[in-house]
Amino acid sequence: MLRYLYADELHQYPKLARSMFLDRADQFKTRLGWDVHVNEDGEERDQYDALNPLYVIWEEPDGSHGGSMRFLPTTGPVMINDVFGHLTGGSPICSPLIWEVTRFCMSRRASSRVAGAIMLSGGEVMEGFGLTHIAGVFDERMIRIYRLIGSSPEVLGSEGEGRDRISVGLWPFSPADCARVSERAGISRELSRLWFNRAFGKVNRRRFAQTG
């Protein structure tokens, strides 16, 4: 199942949280060789984890992490503007209607449907919070994955060649995309909405709007 948790709620699910940060280290440092910091506990964390982001996390039956991604509003510090602003022509992406998604991570143990479930959550977040777009930075390997899942971004800018190519893109909210991702993931929109609605009431949905 999917859980929607702010950073200050992760302590309620210690196994889920720790395995997420361990899997991030495994994916980004060990498998992909990115220049990311892994702490003495073996966890990959960065400065954006300290900004109380919203995490969408697939929880396996044993309570461990299967896959996840992280959301932050573009009205505050985000990787797209702070690190990759040159890929958008120097014009920051800054809107209460656009959130950034980063750290799309899959456990080695996860089934194929987990990636689709996590991407489907992006549609739930956009619809539930009244967003028009989600923005993200991705490498070349993700292009094929996005196509298979059924939701490809509009590319705003890129740099590098081959497997080292990095791009910034925007995903608009699209009911058709949500339906396609839902079908390919084998997860109904009704179930996806149920997971989202279990996490958020009206007060919680406004947290970023009030602080961003």
Q: Is residue 7 part of a domain?
A: yes
Residue-level pLDDT at 73: 97
Q: Which helix (H) or strand (E) holds 88?
A: none
Q: How many domains is the chain built from?
A: 1
Q: How many CA atoms lie within 13 A of 158 on its CB side?
A: 16
The closest alpha carbon to 153, from 165, 141, 167, 170, belongs to 170
Give me the CATH number covering residue 82. Answer: 3.40.630.30
Q: Is residue 202 part of a domain?
A: no
Least confident of 41-50, 62-71, 108-117: 108-117
Q: Which domain holds residue 147?
A: 1-190
Confidence of residue 6 (pLDDT cuts 50, 70, 90): very high
Q: Is residue 198 part of a domain?
A: no
Q: Is residue 204 part of a domain?
A: no
Looking at this protein, which amino acid is placed at residue 186? G
Q: Is residue 175 part of a domain?
A: yes
Average pLDDT score over residue span 74-101: 93
Q: Is residue 165 part of a domain?
A: yes
Average pLDDT score over residue span 153-179: 88
The mean pLDDT of the chain is 90
Average pLDDT score over residue span 47-69: 97
Maximum C-alpha span of the chain: 45
Residue-level pLDDT at 201: 67
Q: Map tokens 């990095």 to a residue.
A: 166
Q: Is residue 196 part of a domain?
A: no
Q: Is residue 113 part of a domain?
A: yes
